[in-house]
Amino acid sequence: MAYTVDFKTVSTIGLESSPVAAALAGLRANEARYIWNKYKEPYITYPAAEKPDSLAWVNEILAERDLQISAKSLEVSDLNLPDLHWVEIYYQDGLVINVMYSLSDPKKRAVGFKLSDGMAVPTELEGKFKFARQKSKLAGTIRGSFFVIKGSH
C-alpha cells in the first residue's frame, strides 16, 4: 500500500521492523522535504514487494561496483521528475540507497548511500566509500557517500 510521507510529522509507518526505525523515518521525511522543496512533488513510498522492477534496476546499477546489499529492503520510492528518474530504497538495517538518473545528461547520474543515525556502516560498503556527515533536524546526523554511474541503465 502506498504511503505519502509527511515531512512535518515524522512517522515510522512501513519501517517498524528496523532497529533504527525512528532515525530511518527521519531520513525518509528529510528526503520528502527535499523533493517537495525542489520539485513540488509528493514523496510516496511503497512496500518493497510492490516495486520489484525498481529493486532490480537499482541492483543492476550496484553491480557496476560489484555491490550486493544483504539487508532486507522495506520500502521503495520511485519518482519520475522533470528529466530525472529518482529511485530510493529503504533497508531494514537503516541504509538508504538513492539513484538519481538524469534522462538527458549522462554526467548527472549517481548512486547515493545514506546511513541512518545509530547504524554501523554495512560490511558491503566498509572500506569502499568515505562517508561525510550532515546534520538534519528530521534525521539527526546523516552519513552519506556516492558514486557516479558509468553505464546506461
Q: What is the pLDDT of residues 48-94, one digit of tens each?
A: 999 999 999 999 999 999 999 999 999 999 999 989 999 999 999 99
Q: What's the maximum distance between 2 C-alpha atoms anywhere in the chain?
A: 39
Task: Tell me: pLDDT of 151 over 90.
Answer: no
Quick one: 114 exposed, middle or buried, by C-beta within 10 A (0-12, 13-18, 19+)? buried
Retrieve residue 136's grid coordinates: 538534519
Task: Tell me: pLDDT of 136 over 90.
Answer: no
DSSP for 7-72, written as a single string: SSS---TTTTTSTTHHHHHHHHHHHHHHHHHHH----EEEEGGG-HHHHHHHHHHHGGGT----SP
8-state DSSP, 151 = S
Q: What percent of the chain stands above pLDDT 70?
A: 100
Kind and range of the H or E run holding 80: strand 73-81
Model's pTM, two decimal places?
0.94
CA distance 31 to 152: 25
Neighbours of 42 (CB within 10 A): 12
